[in-house]
Amino acid sequence: MSKKHGGGGHHGGSWKVAYADFVTAMMALFLCLWLTAQDTKIKDAVERAFRNPFSAVNKESTGIIPNQNKDATSSSSSSQKGNFNSSSAAEMEMLRHITDDLSKLLADVDDAQNSIKMELTPDGLRINVFDRSHKPIFDQDTDTFTPYGAWVFSTLAWEIARYETFKIELEGHTDASLKTGRESRGKWELSSDRANAARRKLIESGVLSSQVFQVSGFADTQPMKGTQPSDEANRRVTVLLRHSDPRMPDRSDQASDQASNANQP
């Protein structure tokens, strides 16, 4: 006859194993549900991270099997669209974070949302800072910041400085009705000087000088879409956070400074 064991102390831990399996299964289920709720770019980034966690994001393939015939599937007419679709999902997510964080910061300041317009584009995040008459960014006809303008660009710098991977392009624009009263300081000079003043303020507030890729002045040649050339909405400084592009050449700090100083009068 078999000997029966008395008491239940010898097998009392088996329920712990079953419970651990149950918890693991539930965690896996919740993770799957979370992943299915994300957009395609996040899913691609997660897939690439698990496939090769120690390499940079692969911009040449968005699937499990690398595309070995890139030339056959690309064309010059769709190159711009292709660049946008192949951009790093992680960078796009960072740009969304910047947009959300800045929106929250500006929501608590009166009329700030009318002074700043943010737009995600195929090139990156475009931030337009408007020099409106009722809320000026600069002292009239100068490149000197008002206290409000200094606060705006310091706030932008505080957020941008957290993400060092983006290249920064700065553009100065004026409206067609601007009259500086000085022939030696026209619209071209003023728009260039204001873009350069924005560069200095960003760097002063924590942005790396190596991030600044280009500083330009466009006078009144590029009015905002849907506005008249004389509209004050065209008085603005545009900050473009450009996501990585392998075709974009790297520039040293010295080269960036030379490009910026070239716009000085």
We report the CATH number of the domain holding residue 179 as 3.30.1330.60
If asked whether residues 55 and 153 sit together in one domain, one would say no
Which of 100-109, 165-174, 255-264 holds the top average pLDDT? 165-174
212, β-bridge pairs:
168
CA 172 to each of CA 53, 132, 179: distance values in angstroms, whole numbers, following the listed order: 41, 14, 16
Residue 22 lies in a domain: yes
Q: Are residues 113 and 60 in the same domain?
A: no
Per-residue pLDDT, averaged over 108-122, amounts to 82
Q: What is the model's pTM?
A: 0.59
Average pLDDT of the chain is 76
Tokens representing 1 are 């006859």
d(CA 247, CA 264) in angstroms, rounded, equals: 28
Count other C-beta atoms under 10 Å from residue 160's C-beta: 24
User: 20 and 143 share a domain?
Assistant: no
Matching residue, tokens 């595309």: 67
Amino acid 194: pLDDT: 97
Q: Can you list the alpha helix ranges (DSSP code H) found in the chain?
A: 14-36, 40-51, 70-73, 79-86, 89-107, 112-115, 147-160, 187-204, 253-261
Dump pLDDT digits (tens) for 137-193.
Answer: 999 989 999 999 999 999 999 999 988 889 999 999 999 987 755 555 789 999 999
pLDDT category, 62, cuts 50, 70, 90?
A: very low
Residue linked to tokens 């700030």: 112
In a domain, 222, yes or no: yes
pLDDT reading at 259 higher than 60: no
Do 188 and 143 share a domain, yes or no?
yes
pLDDT for residue 112: 73
Beta pairing class for 124-130 and 236-242: antiparallel
Tokens 């709720």 found at: 37
Note down the domain range covering 54. 16-65
Give how many domains the chain has, as a whole number.
2
